[in-house]
Chains A and B, each alone.
Chain A
């Protein structure tokens, strides 16, 4: 069983829809990271959180430490949000990554 599980693996949405990507982990962590990777490979760190909720523009990340679960929400999705979203956890070990969620937003 992978230490970090993401769902769904693939997601297609219409522009304007509310999107949720989920991440579950099985190990103790000090922080959870949400990353965005566009075609071509560049990775951008969206959030690093250890409790509660963070918001940046149309993106919201939440984490429930007791349930070992995090969600990434995108409000009013736009085609430029199309990318792979990767969940990663850090703790006693360096970053362990999920397999990613490929999001396509159609105009």
Chain B
């Protein structure tokens, strides 16, 4: 089985722009979670989706949003980018919610 894939792998954006990141889970996995990793804050939970429904949302501003499609693929969007949004964004999928998670390689976003 193919692993979790994330596109793009690297991205450079300017302050004020918006960005959309994509995640394709392992085939058959219905749960997708997103995380942000920065040197200062470490790994932090962003969202969790299961069968197109958002189950949980982390403590992030409304500029961060996401969705999941019927084929379990997920996207996250960040609007009005700030320098502090520069981070590695990781997606993870699992068969069901609360099962072991399998992580993608991440998208490294740099905001200048």
Contacts and interface: CB of A to CB of B under 8 A. Distances in A.
Interface of A: 30-31, 33, 35, 41-45, 48, 86, 88, 90, 93-100
Contacts of A96: 45
Nearest to A35: B103
Of B43, B56, B90, B92, most A-chain CB atoms within 10 Å: B43
A41 B106 CA distance: 7
- Describe A's contact surface by its main secondary structure: strand
Given A44-B103, A45-B102, A100-B42, 11 more contacts: A30-B98, A31-B98, A41-B105, A41-B108, A42-B103, A43-B92, A43-B106, A93-B56, A94-B48, A95-B43, A95-B45
Interface of B: 33, 35, 37, 42-45, 48, 56, 58, 88, 90, 92, 98-103, 105-106, 108
B101 to A, nearest CB: 6
B100 A86 contact: no
Given A42-B106, A43-B90, A94 B101 contact: no
B102 A90 contact: no
